[in-house]
Amino acid sequence: MMKTDEKLIINGKRLDGRKPMDIREIEMKVGVIPNANGSAYVRFGKTTAFAAVYGPRELIPKHLQEPDKAILRCYYNMAPFSVSDRKRPGPDRRAVEISKVTKLAIEPALFLEEFPETTIDVYIDIIQADGSTRVTGINAASLALADAGIPMRDLIVALSGGKIDDTLIIDLCGKEDNYSEADIPIAFLPNTKEITLLQMDGRITPQEVKDTIRNILKAGEQVYKKQKEALKNRYK
């Protein structure tokens, strides 16, 4: 974690005026990419993600097929113009890691055994990055999969937590992400509260991790509500 002389919390208020447990303004929309089987747009403050789902469709080459289930492939990508100092285009180590954990976060919500020999492809593109892009991408993927009509056990809700000046916060913006003492992205299935993603970076006590998980399960209800609204709005 990098160091900064700038105070990230002053009198209990964060850089953008939020209290520690406030989430940024959320915007969610599904069916935004007509050519995809399912798609979604998700914005948390300035962090903006699109997700497009193709499939289930026959997996070519055939030797990659699983005879008794679909395979899920996730592709996380950050657009070159998504950050202020242009990101080099193409996959890097970070994108490979985020694609992998995104797949692991989503898989438990799907009935892959219903679609043998097929692939479900999930493309996540970050158009603007201001912290917490992987969780924003997972929320977009959740909606795009539901929009594609793919049977799901549950939606997948994702939110980041962290610690700044010994204060636990949620939904980290870019500066908080870069300078926080700890950064904990979490994804979970809202009905069973099964946690499908939990990563950690920085220094934090076991009790603070427990508290962060509790905070995110609680605040995640707002994200879950927004996801359901976005899906209902599709059919208005």
Asked whether position 161 contacts ligand CDP by CB under 6 A, the answer is no
> Least distance from C-beta 199 to ligand CDP, angstroms?
9
Nearer to ligand CDP, 87 or 226 (CB): 87
> Least distance from C-beta 226 to ligand CDP, angstroms?
19
Q: By CB under 6 A, name the one of 129, 138, 186, 223 that touches ligand CDP.
A: 129
Asked whether position 37 contacts ligand CDP by CB under 6 A, the answer is no
CA separation for the pair 41, 222 (Å, rounded): 17
> Least distance from C-beta 60 to ligand CDP, angstroms?
31
Asked whether position 87 contacts ligand CDP by CB under 6 A, the answer is yes
Partners of 182 in beta bridges: 163, 202
Asked whether position 33 contacts ligand CDP by CB under 6 A, the answer is no
CA separation for the pair 87, 131 (Å, rounded): 14
Q: What is the footprint of ligand CDP within residues 175-194 (CB under 6 A)?
A: 177-178, 183, 185
Asked whether position 94 contacts ligand CDP by CB under 6 A, the answer is yes
Residue found by looking up tokens 């953008």 in the block:
16
Q: What is the footprint of ligand CDP within residues 42-71 (CB under 6 A)?
A: none
Partners of 70 in beta bridges: none
Among candidate residues 128, 197, 207, 129, the one with its CA nearest the CA of residue 163: 207
> Least distance from C-beta 89 to ligand CDP, angstroms?
11
55 neighbors 120 (Cβ within 8 angstroms): yes
> Least distance from C-beta 94 to ligand CDP, angstroms?
6
Nearer to ligand CDP, 99 or 133 (CB): 133
> Least distance from C-beta 87 to ligand CDP, angstroms?
5
142 Cβ contact list (under 8 Å, min separation 6): 40, 106, 109, 155, 156, 157, 158, 227
Asked whether position 142 contacts ligand CDP by CB under 6 A, the answer is no
- CA-to-CA dists, residue 16 to 10, 13, 37, 46, 184, angstroms: 11, 8, 37, 11, 20
If one counts every other C-beta atom within 10 angstroms of the C-beta of residue 174, the result is 18
Nearer to ligand CDP, 87 or 163 (CB): 87
Task: Look at residue 98 and give its three-state secondary structure.
Answer: helix
- The binding site for ligand CDP (CB under 6 A) comprises 83, 87, 94, 129-134, 174, 177-178, 183, 185
